[in-house]
Amino acid sequence: MIKTEHLSHFYSVGTPFETVAIEDINLHIKKGEYVGVIGHTGSGKSTLIAHFNAILKPTSGKIFIDGKDLWSEDKKQRIQTRFDVGLVFQYPEHQLFEETVYKDIAFGPKNMGLSEEEIHRRVEKAMRFVGLSESVLEKSPFDLSGGQKRRVAIAGVMALEPKVLILDEPAAGLDPMGRDEILGRIREYHQETGSTVLLVSHSMEDVSKNADSILVMNRGRCQMHASVPEVFERADELEKMGLDVPRITRVFFALQDKGYPVSRNVFTVEQGKAEITRLLKEGGKNHA
Amino acid sequence: MLKDITLGQYFPVKSFMHALDPRMKLLLTLLYVVALFLVSDFWGFLVAAFLIGLVASFSKISLKVVFRGLKPLVFIIMFTAFFNVLYGGGEPLFPQIEWLSWIKTDGVKNAAFMIIRIILLILGTSYLTYTTSPVMLTDALERLMRPLKIFRFPVHELAMMMTIALRFIPTLIDETDKIINAQKARGADFETGNIIRRAKALIPILIPLLVSAFHRAEELADAMECRCYHGGAGRTRYKIYSLGWRDWVALGAMVLSFAAIIMLRIY
Ligand SMILES: Nc1ncnc2c1ncn2[C@@H]1O[C@H](COP(=O)(O)OP(=O)(O)OP(=O)(O)O)[C@@H](O)[C@H]1O
Ligand SMILES: [Mg+2]
Q: How far apart are the first and last CA of chain A?
A: 54
Specify the pLDDT at position B4.
55
Question: Coil, helix or strand for B78?
Answer: helix
> Which SS3 state, helix, strand or coil, does residue B104 take?
strand
DSSP reduced 3-state for B91 = coil
| Candidate from B3, B182, B186 with C-beta closest to A160 | B186
Contact check, Cβ <8 Å, A92/B181: no
- How high is the pLDDT of residue B8? 63
Band (A119; pLDDT cuts 50, 70, 90) = very high
Residues written for chain B = 267
Distance of CA A169 from the midpoint of ligand 2 (Å): 8
What Å distances lie between residue A270 and A118, A143, A254, A274, CA to CA?
41, 37, 18, 6
Local structure of B92: helix, strand or coil: strand
- Chain A contact present for B198, CB below 8 A: no
B251: closest CA of chain A, how far (Å): 27
Q: Which residues pair with A197 in a beta bridge?
A: A34, A165
Q: What is the pLDDT of residue A267?
A: 84
Cβ proximity of B175 and B189 under 8 Å: no
List the single best residue of A15, A47, A104 to mutate versus B (max B Cβ within 10 A): A15
Ligand 1, atom 24, residue with closest C-alpha: A41
> Is the Cβ–Cβ distance between A136 and A105 less than 8 Å?
no
Q: CB contact, 8 Å: B259 with chain A?
A: no
Measured between beta carbons, the chain B residues lying within 8 angstroms of A156 are: 186
* Shortest CA distance from B175: residue in chain A: A94
Query: Which residue's CA is the nearest one to ligand 1's atom 17?
Result: A46
Question: What is the model's pLDDT at position A268?
Answer: 83
CA of A43 to the centre of ligand 2 (A): 8
Identify the pLDDT of residue A265: 83
Q: Per-residue pLDDT for A181 more than 70?
A: yes
Contact B65 A16 (CB under 8 A): yes
Query: Could you tell me if the ipTM is greater than 0.90?
Result: no
From residue A73, how far is each of A63, A67, A68, B141 by CA, in Å? 11, 12, 8, 52
Cβ proximity of A92 and A150 under 8 Å:
yes
**Ligand with the closest atom to the CA of A168:** 2
Nearest residue in chain A measured CA to CA from B130: A16
- Interface check for B6 against chain A (CB to CB < 8 A): the answer is yes
Q: pLDDT tens, A226-282? A: 998 899 888 888 888 888 888 888 888 889 888 888 888 888 888 889 988 988 888
Which domains are seen in chain A, by residue range? 2-245 (3.40.50.300), 246-288 (no CATH)
As a 3-state breakdown, chain B gives helix, strand, coil percent values, each rounded to 5, of 75, 0, 25
Among A98-107, A134-143, A196-205, B229-238, which stretch is predicted with the lowest mean pLDDT?
Answer: B229-238
Kindly indicate the confidence band of residue A77, based on its pLDDT and cuts at 50, 70 and 90.
Answer: confident
| Ligand (nearest to CA of A43) | 1
SS (H, E, C) chain A: CEEEEEEEEEECCCCCCCEEEEEEEEEEECCCCEEEEECCCCCCHHHHHHHHCCCCCCCEEEEEECCEEHHHCCHHHHHHHHHHEEEECCCHHHHCCCCCHHHHHHHHHHHCCCCHHHHHHHHHHHHHHHCCCHHHCCCCHHHCCHHHHHHHHHHHHHCCCCCEEEEECCCCCCCHHHHHHHHHHHHHHHHHHCCEEEEEECCHHHHHHHCCEEEEEECCEEEEEEEHHHHHHCHHHHHHCCCCCCHHHHHHHHHHHCCCCCCCCCCCHHHHHHHHHHHHHHHHHHHC
Mean pLDDT to the nearest integer, A11-17: 78
Q: Are A134 and A120 in contact (CB under 8 A)?
A: no
Closest in B3, B68, B187 to A79, CB measured? B187
| Residue to substitute from B186, B190, B203, B215, interface A, most A β-carbons within 10 A | B186
Q: Which atom of ligand 1 is nearest to the CA of A48?
A: 18
Q: Closest partner residue to B65 among A15, A107, A111, by Cβ? A: A15
With cut-offs at 50, 70 and 90, classify the pLDDT of residue A199.
Answer: very high
Distance between Cα A21 and ligand 1 center (Å) = 6
Distance CA B244, CA A28 (A): 59
Nearest ligand to the C-alpha atom of residue A21: 1
Distance CA A243, CA A236 (A): 9
Rounded-to-integer distance, Cα B101 and Cα B172, Å: 49
> B137 vs chain A: nearest CA distance in angstroms?
21
Set of chain A residues whose Cβ sits within 8 Å of the Cβ of B187: 79, 82-83, 108, 111-112, 160
Return residues 104-133 of B near A (CB < 8 Å): none
pLDDT band at residue A204 under the 50/70/90 scheme: confident
Ligand number nearest to the C-alpha of A202: 1
* Count of CB pairs separated by less than 8 Å, A with B: 68
Pair type for strands A196-201 and A164-168: parallel
Q: What is the pLDDT along chain B (267 residues), one digit of tens a residue?
A: 555 555 567 888 889 999 999 999 999 999 999 999 988 888 889 999 999 999 999 988 888 888 887 888 888 888 888 888 887 777 777 777 777 777 778 888 888 888 999 999 999 998 998 899 888 888 898 888 888 888 888 888 888 888 888 788 888 888 999 999 999 999 888 777 788 888 888 999 999 999 999 999 999 999 999 998 888 777 787 778 888 999 999 999 999 999 999 988 887
B50 phi, psi to nearest 5 deg:
-60, -40
Contact B179 A95 (CB under 8 A): yes
Specify the 3-state DSSP secondary structure of B153: coil
- Which of chain A's residues have a Cβ under 8 Å away from the Cβ of B11? 15-17
User: Whole-angstrom distance between the N-terminal and C-terminal Cα of chain B?
Assistant: 49
* pLDDT value of residue A246: 84
* Dist. CA B143–CA B84, nearest whole Å: 39
Query: Atom 25 in ligand 1: which residue has the minimum CA distance?
Result: A41
Ligand 2 mean position, distance from CA A155 (Å): 20
* Residue whose CB lies within 8 A of the most ligand 1 atoms, among A9, A18, A46, for a mutation test: A46
Q: Chain A partners of B211 at a C-beta cutoff of 8 Å?
A: 142
The pairing of beta strand A60-65 with beta strand A19-29: unpaired
- Do A124 and A101 meet the contact criterion of CB atoms below 8 Å apart? no
What residues of chain B lie within 8 A of the CB of A94, using their CB? 175, 178-179, 182, 208, 212
Average pLDDT of chain A to the nearest whole number: 90
Identify the residue with better confidence: B120 or A175: B120
For the CA atoms of A69, A72, A73, A74, what is the dihedral angle to 10 degrees? 160
* pLDDT computed for residue B21 by the predictor: 93
The reported pLDDT for the residue numbered A288 is 42
